[in-house]
Chains A and B, each alone.
Chain A
Amino acid sequence: MAKFKIHLLVCGGTGCRASESEALFHNLKATISEKGLENEVQVITTGCFGFCEKGPIVKVMPDNTFYTQVTPADAIEIIEEHVIKGRKVQRLLYENPETKEKVVDSKKMGFYRKQLRIALRNCGFIDPENIDEYIGRDGYMALGKCLTELTPEQVIEIMKKSGLRGRGGGGFPAGLKWEITRASKADQKYVVCNADEGDPGAFMDRSILEGDPHSVIEAMAICGYCIDASKGLVYIRAEYPLAIERLKTAIKQAREYGLLGENVLGTGFSFDIELRYGAGAFVCGEETALIHSMEGLRGEPTVKPPFPSVSGYLGKPTNVNNVETFANVPVIINRGAEWFASIGTEKSRGTKVFALAGKINNVGLIEVPMGITLREVIYEIGGGIKDGKEFKAVQTGGPSGGCLTQRHLDTPIDYDNLIAAGSMMGSGGMIVMDEDDCMVSIAKFYLDFTVEESCGRCAPCRIGNKRLIEILEKICKGEGTMDDLDNLRNLSQVIKDTSLCGLGQTSPNPVLSTMENFYEEYIAHVMDKKCPSGQCKSLLQYIIDAENCVGCTACARNCPVNAIIGERKGVHVIDQAVCIKCGACMEKCKFNAVFIK
């Protein structure tokens, strides 16, 4: 039986494979068997290290040596020097770009990792249903510190200094919001946690509530202390049963420990939390709509001012923050505003959680410091585009964000840069598109979502978005005109300009940004009646290549609408007027004679 003493971990991520990591793997294996070390050294490929820039990567365990840019030729040296003689191969070690020192132990090179987990600090680490594990990780120490050592004003000052901005999408400074709510005088105030995560493909808040519910509870209590509220409400969508369950368990445990309820930690401060369930309307993520929904009214936004900080739930001052915003709070209190403010960019401090999705290899939940570039996120953390395709665009900010392109890849991600680029931070959805995606269809796809989710209160959003999608449908069918493009642009602008809430004010973004960045695709649809990506069914044609066709009749026999004409052993032709573009002919043809134009 083998008893391995040394493991060689070879990165099997797409990036590293592209730079010959497979050959490297084989060379390592070959060298090991050459030296007769099969029972002592194991070579294994792993998932992506998230360091594709310096690939291929080889990590040696158990001494945590981290080799970068390893070529297949380096295999022999690693085995001979490191494995056999125990001497690290200096030239392959990673060099700290700042100190120029070679890093010997990869444990000391956390900085290569593009991700930093603050809001997600306990996710995947503690048992979310065990309050002790949270307490063991500094849990409720921040609340204790606030209640015993700091005045509400001091806590607010820390929050303001930290530079934490609302993570729900708006980016309003959290400390300032707390300050305004504190300044509103009332007999009762409320802390509301917005857990109505509605962006398609986004699940940041759900993951936090499922993985670390206490961090949100603790932060809400801290907020309650600051704004003088004794009651907290979590507005959570009913489609998140596990998050609800974990949150309920956490609230129960916190109550049993006396961390919620009357006289918390003997300080006289009282605070408790209740849950309110949302039925899943996207617009209820907008804070005034959320409040109306909690009040039992129709979930639709109303004009601000008055802001909830002044008049919110039941007409009382209400501080609404998003789950991720709250999850940052205890860390800020424990580690200080300066520590937090040292991360990120000047106007966007700290980190942001993104749900990385679409045509990308490492789909998942990531947390990165503000200021990281899209390129780093997509190519290093995300492991690049699936199936080696070309990157085309990335959609940030959920359904009403914009599509950013190649030329935005090196833009540092923060609130202001994203808006300047025609998109937005939103709540943190990030959907990657490749060369196969038709940008007109993409715009239509997102608009379809906003049309469904419009509350119907204001005319431009209710009717305008519907008209936008109708025009896009027309274009995708090849029936669009140049006038339609003008109308599309004017209508988009008017909807943005006149809608009541953030939903309508941003819903045309996918249209405007794709028109801005991929206008040639619109022109192709309208003028040439072609969809360059071959996605718009009405615009593509199945054609039989006369040279390859042998007249086997397989296509004609399988065509459900009898659109294919031709004699046995003669060249077949597809009648485009009859063809429904089902693709059956292409599937059945054994001679690659059917192609799409």
Chain B
Amino acid sequence: MTTIKSLDDLRKIKSSVQSKLALRERSDHPDQLVQVRVAMATCGIASGAKIVMDYMMVELEKRNIESIVTQTGCMGYCYAEPTIEVTVPGKDPIVFGYVDTKKADQIIEKYIKNGELVEGIIPVNYESIDEK
């Protein structure tokens, strides 16, 4: 890591990572990249989020789906842990709750490959400050 020596440096990093965040650079086919976020706070991990995350990473690669799986903090739906958010290119992100490896398999096979929704969807019930 290089040291950030000024506010301008910081701004430069920001704009570069913002585009990275949008995941355009990491893929040859950005329009096909599936993004999965796993809620990995204590509540999630305690309910098995680690297993789900490992499963998603291994299985998506095995099934040749270009994807990126990342961890994130608590989404707030503690009653439905483990929760994951799946973003299929061109579609809005969808949060699935009560995910185990069986459900994860369904999500890959049905939703990611085929666009078919599976049970356990949690509608996002908060407003983010970006919208405010």
Q: Are B3 and A365 in contact (CB under 8 A)?
A: no
Chain A, residues 190-206, CB within 8 Å of chain B (1/0): the string is 00000000000001001
Chain A, residues 203-221, CB within 8 Å of chain B (1/0): the string is 1001110111000000000
- The answer for the CA separation of A4 and B91 in the assembled complex, in Å, is 13
Q: Are B129 and A211 in contact (CB under 8 A)?
A: no
Q: Which residues of A contact B122 (CB under 8 A)?
A: 46-48
A362-B79 contact given A113-B125, A124-B85, A265-B6, CB 8 Å threshold: yes
In the complex, chain B residues 16-53 whose Cβ is within 8 Å of any chain A Cβ? 17-18, 20-21, 37, 39-43, 45
Partner of A116, one of B6, B71, B121, B129: B129
CB distance from A379 to the nearest CB of B (A): 13
- The answer for the CA separation of A5 and B126 in the assembled complex, in Å, is 27
Partner of A141, one of B14, B70, B76: B14
Partner of B76, one of A49, A61, A364: A364
Q: Which residues of A contact B82 (CB under 8 A)?
A: none
- The answer for the CA separation of A102 and B73 in the assembled complex, in Å, is 35
A127-B70 contact given A117-B129, A363-B78, CB 8 Å threshold: yes
- The answer for the CA separation of A129 and B74 in the assembled complex, in Å, is 13
Of A255-263, A283-291, A505-513, the segment with at least 4 beta carbons within 8 Å of chain B is A255-263
- The answer for the CA separation of A9 and B4 in the assembled complex, in Å, is 46
Chain A, residues 366-388, CB within 8 Å of chain B (1/0): the string is 11000000000000010000000
Name the CB-closest residue of A to B115. Answer: A4
A47-B77 contact given A135-B13, A257-B4, A258-B3, CB 8 Å threshold: yes
- The answer for the CA separation of A206 and B41 in the assembled complex, in Å, is 8
Q: Are A124 and B115 in contact (CB under 8 A)?
A: no
Name the CB-closest residue of A to B70. Answer: A127
Q: Is A274 an interface residue (CB 8 A)?
A: no
Q: Are A4 and B132 in contact (CB under 8 A)?
A: no
Q: Are B3 and A362 in contact (CB under 8 A)?
A: no
CB distance from A542 to the nearest CB of B (A): 34
A7-B117 contact given A256-B3, A365-B78, CB 8 Å threshold: yes
CB distance from B74 to the nearest CB of A (A): 4
Q: Are A210 and B74 in contact (CB under 8 A)?
A: yes
- The answer for the CA separation of A113 and B39 in the assembled complex, in Å, is 21
Q: Which residues of A contact B114 (CB under 8 A)?
A: 1-4
A120-B76 contact given A44-B119, A203-B43, CB 8 Å threshold: yes
Partner of A242, one of B14, B45, B127: B45
Chain A, residues 468-510, CB within 8 Å of chain B (1/0): the string is 0000000000000000000000000000000000000000000
- The answer for the CA separation of A369 and B43 in the assembled complex, in Å, is 24
Q: Are B123 and A9 in contact (CB under 8 A)?
A: yes
- The answer for the CA separation of A51 and B127 in the assembled complex, in Å, is 13
Q: Which residues of A contact B43 (CB under 8 A)?
A: 203, 207
Q: Is A27 an interface residue (CB 8 A)?
A: no
Q: Are A211 and B74 in contact (CB under 8 A)?
A: yes
Per the CB 8 Å criterion, the residue count for chain A at the interface is 79
Name the CB-closest residue of B to A210. Answer: B41
A242-B42 contact given A123-B76, A136-B20, A265-B6, CB 8 Å threshold: yes
Q: Which residues of B contact A49 (CB under 8 A)?
A: 123, 125
CB distance from A56 to the nearest CB of B (A): 13
Q: Is A118 an interface residue (CB 8 A)?
A: yes
Q: Which residues of B contact A17 (CB under 8 A)?
A: none
CB distance from B26 to the nearest CB of A (A): 12
Q: Are A364 and B1 in contact (CB under 8 A)?
A: no
Name the CB-closest residue of B to A334. Answer: B129
Q: Are A62 and B92 in contact (CB under 8 A)?
A: yes
Q: Is B75 an interface residue (CB 8 A)?
A: yes
Name the CB-closest residue of A to B6. Answer: A266
A116-B127 contact given A4-B115, A258-B3, A362-B77, CB 8 Å threshold: yes
Q: Are A117 and B126 in contact (CB under 8 A)?
A: yes
Chain A, residues 133-149, CB within 8 Å of chain B (1/0): the string is 10111111100110110
CB distance from B108 to the nearest CB of A (A): 15
Chain A, residues 342-366, CB within 8 Å of chain B (1/0): the string is 0000000000000000000111111
- The answer for the CA separation of A49 and B71 in the assembled complex, in Å, is 24
Q: Is B5 an interface residue (CB 8 A)?
A: yes
- The answer for the CA separation of A203 and B44 in the assembled complex, in Å, is 13
Q: Is A442 an interface residue (CB 8 A)?
A: no
Q: Which residues of B contact A45 (CB under 8 A)?
A: 119
Q: Are B117 and A44 in contact (CB under 8 A)?
A: yes
Q: Is B118 an interface residue (CB 8 A)?
A: yes
Q: Are A257 and B1 in contact (CB under 8 A)?
A: yes
Q: Are B1 and A110 in contact (CB under 8 A)?
A: no
Name the CB-closest residue of B to A11. Answer: B123
Q: Which residues of B contact A126 (CB under 8 A)?
A: 72-73
A366-B126 contact given A61-B92, A132-B20, A361-B79, CB 8 Å threshold: yes
CB distance from B67 to the nearest CB of A (A): 15
- The answer for the CA separation of A253 and B18 in the assembled complex, in Å, is 18
Q: Is A331 an interface residue (CB 8 A)?
A: yes
- The answer for the CA separation of A333 and B71 in the assembled complex, in Å, is 27
Q: Is B57 an interface residue (CB 8 A)?
A: no
Q: Which residues of B contact A207 (CB under 8 A)?
A: 41, 43, 73-74, 76
- The answer for the CA separation of A425 and B19 in the assembled complex, in Å, is 40
CB distance from A236 to the nearest CB of B (A): 13
CB distance from B128 to the nearest CB of A (A): 6
Q: Which residues of A contact B125 (CB under 8 A)?
A: 48-51, 113-115, 381
Name the CB-closest residue of A to B90. Answer: A62
- The answer for the CA separation of A121 and B128 in the assembled complex, in Å, is 6
Chain B, residues 60-99, CB within 8 Å of chain A (1/0): the string is 0000000000111111111110000100000110000100
Q: Which residues of A contact B1 (CB under 8 A)?
A: 253, 256-257
- The answer for the CA separation of A115 and B122 in the assembled complex, in Å, is 15
Q: Are B97 and A123 in contact (CB under 8 A)?
A: no
Top 4 closest pairs, chain A to chain B, by CB: A211-B73, A115-B126, A50-B125, A124-B75
Q: Which residues of A contact B (CB under 8 A)?
A: 1-4, 7, 9, 11, 42, 44-51, 59, 61-62, 64, 110-111, 113-118, 120-130, 132-133, 135-141, 144-145, 147-148, 203, 206-208, 210-212, 240, 242-243, 253, 256-259, 265-266, 331, 335, 361-367, 381
11 contacts between A and B (CB under 8 A): A7-B117, A42-B117, A49-B123, A110-B132, A121-B128, A123-B75, A135-B14, A140-B10, A256-B1, A257-B4, A364-B76
Given A115-B127, A240-B42, 17 more A-B residue pairs with CB atoms under 8 Å apart are A4-B116, A44-B121, A45-B119, A48-B122, A110-B132, A115-B125, A116-B132, A118-B129, A124-B76, A125-B128, A128-B73, A133-B21, A207-B74, A242-B41, A257-B2, A265-B9, A265-B10
